[in-house]
A and B are shown apart, each in its own frame.
Chain A
Amino acid sequence: MGLPTSPESLYGLLAEFEQPDDVLEAARKAYAAGYRQMNAYTPFSVEGLSQALGQKPTRLPWLVLLGGIVGGGAAYFMLYYACVISYPLNVGGRPLHSWPSFIPITFEMTVLGAAFAAFFGMLALNGLPHPNHPLFEVPAFSLASRNRFFLCIQVRDPLFQLEQTRRFLEGMTPRVHEVQP
């Protein structure tokens, strides 16, 4: 991929694999070699890949819990406020705070809040939308959504040394691409 360049003008080195197990193995080796600023790119979720790269489990479930609590709490507050404070309506002497009839709407809003948190939380934590990225400039990378598996070690990793890292990756696969920033 182009002329060899100095590390400063690169985003990283991208190694291409044909099998999910190969990229998993490569990720384990790279982690063992001390690399941390790296990521793998696969056409589907490969089990264990995230752990192999040393990524922490996502905090998304907590966000979703929060979204559900906020949605449900806001709904119940609205129902209470409307039926008891803002517009109290005496229907045959029944209690104003008739909580059983508040449950369906509270439930629906809980689900809505949690679903919004799951969807938008996933996008936000993933840094999406992010239409452009250095990786998209590598022609081979379009196969990351088809049948190829990639491991990218970034220049900003303290251990990154262009020649050494390239030799390390080439030890596992013949196809190593340079990624321009």
Chain B
Amino acid sequence: MSRRKRGKHPNVTHQNDTSTLSSASVPLGSPPVLEPGHTFASVTDKISSIVLTRKTSRGWIFGFAVSFTLMMAFMYATAYLFARGIGIWGTTIPVGWAFPIVNFVWWIGIGHAGTLISAVLLLLHQEWRTSINRFAEAMTLFAVSCAGLFPLIHMGRPWVFYWMLPYPNTMDLWPNFRSPLVWDVFAVSTYFTVSILFWYMGLIPDMATLRDRTKSRIGQIVYGMMALGWRGSAAHWQRYEVAYLLMAGLATPLVVSVHSIVGMDFASGIVPGWHTAFSPPFFVAGAIFSGFAMVMTLMIPLRSIYGLEDFVTLRHLDNMAKVILATGSMMFYGYSAELFFAYYSGNEYERYVAINRILGPYGWSYWALIACNVLVPQLFWSERMRRNIPVLFAVSLIVNVGMWLERFIIVIVSLHRDFLPSSWRMYYPTVWDFTHLIGSIGLFFTLLFLFVRLLPVISIFELRSLVHETDEEA
């Protein structure tokens, strides 16, 4: 699809020497990707003012304080964990992978939307991504940070985490490279590194903008250093665009590989309910589903608090709702396929796991999952619902819960009753399990609050480019 065809602005006129988009009568059914009336200067000033001139609001301080407190609870729980060992959690045989792994998979899935929005939609010339990609990338980074902590603290002896890495050592040992768990180490650390590089690369021209706009000396020094001396020369831009496009091309298969490998962590185990070849694509679809839901959960309050409705328009929310609907339907297909495979395998253990998920002691979680992930997103067939902000917000929260439940079902419900009834046992999380889960949400929001306050939440230079393109269309 041509990028010119997207984001149409009818009745756009030139106003003397500045590239202004005058008020446009937007046709019903297709809100613009950028509200009309913006110039290069206005988008620059609007976004950079959030960081540079806006006073720190009470709401920000309150939100940051709450998140920071939760993060401290996470730190406290982690200190206690290191002192006492993982026995403080409800994790016990046969449920050897419990909340930490559920949280790990949940967070890493959330992270996937960021890369998808910034890389895949860039390659597909979906220019509506411009206003949300920076934020989504930051979200990826913070979600992957939260995700990465869980396997580390789950190791029992986290101080020897580096044993997972191949390095010359006096023990003359190597990690078991045939294990998906070792693949995971490589996948998650590569994903984290590439996400940082991609995000920082996108920030460089905006750091130059902030360096040139800020009045404070400290700001000039800090933003100046982060801009690395960016001058925006034609030669810079040419290499920059090539690098950005190549990074997007690299990130696209990477994002698919990361959650596929997470899927293989399960698929290569012999536990009934895990041992299925369709885990990798199923996990990837679920990751996109939960990631878009999280972007929506965060974007809806952000755009109204910082007055970004001109940039994050109903069009964005509408498109994200469509992605949630599509991936939610894929999840439904996945759940149906799972049941069919269990039936068709002829394997009594597989069949039992399927029945146990639905009717067993954790059956409530299965029905809640179906309600959250399959039924509720069906609201988005209606255009009115896709434009209704409270509905969007509520659905996005429900999907986040649903996806957490899905991982709960995959990890815990599969493990608690495997082959031998004599080893069956119920799993009960402890207060520390919940502290780590809620605390990691605190860590995520602490990082997000800092990001929103200190760095531009929307890519300024890409918005200028968008102004130029929509201007040219007229």
Contact = CB atoms under 8 A, between A and B. Distances in A.
A126 B238 CA distance: 10
Interface residues of B, number: 64
A91 B15 CA distance: 74
Contacts of B228: 123, 128-131
Contact of B229 (A49, A78, A98, A132): A132
Interface in B190-205: 190, 193-194, 197-198, 200-201, 205
A40 B241 CA distance: 16
A64 B251 CA distance: 13
Contact of A82 (B19, B39, B174): B174
Interface string A80-98: 0011001100010000001
A51 B45 CA distance: 30
Interface residues on A, range: 35 or more
Interface in B177-213: 177-178, 180, 182-183, 186-187, 190, 193-194, 197-198, 200-201, 205, 208-209, 211-213
A22 to B, nearest CB: 10
A116 B193 CA distance: 9
B231 interface: yes
Interface in B223-239: 224-225, 228-239
B254 interface: yes
A61 B229 CA distance: 23
Interface of B: 17-19, 39-41, 44-45, 166, 172-174, 177-178, 180, 182-183, 186-187, 190, 193-194, 197-198, 200-201, 205, 208-209, 211-213, 224-225, 228-243, 246-247, 250-251, 253-254, 257, 261, 264, 461-462, 464-465, 468
Interface of A: 18-20, 27, 39-46, 49-50, 53, 55, 57-58, 60-61, 64, 78-79, 82-83, 86-87, 91, 98, 101-102, 104-105, 107-109, 111-112, 114-116, 118-119, 121-123, 125-126, 128-133, 135-136, 142-147
14 contacts: A39-B234, A40-B234, A41-B231, A61-B242, A64-B246, A83-B174, A105-B177, A115-B251, A122-B243, A144-B232, A146-B40, A146-B44, A147-B39, A147-B44
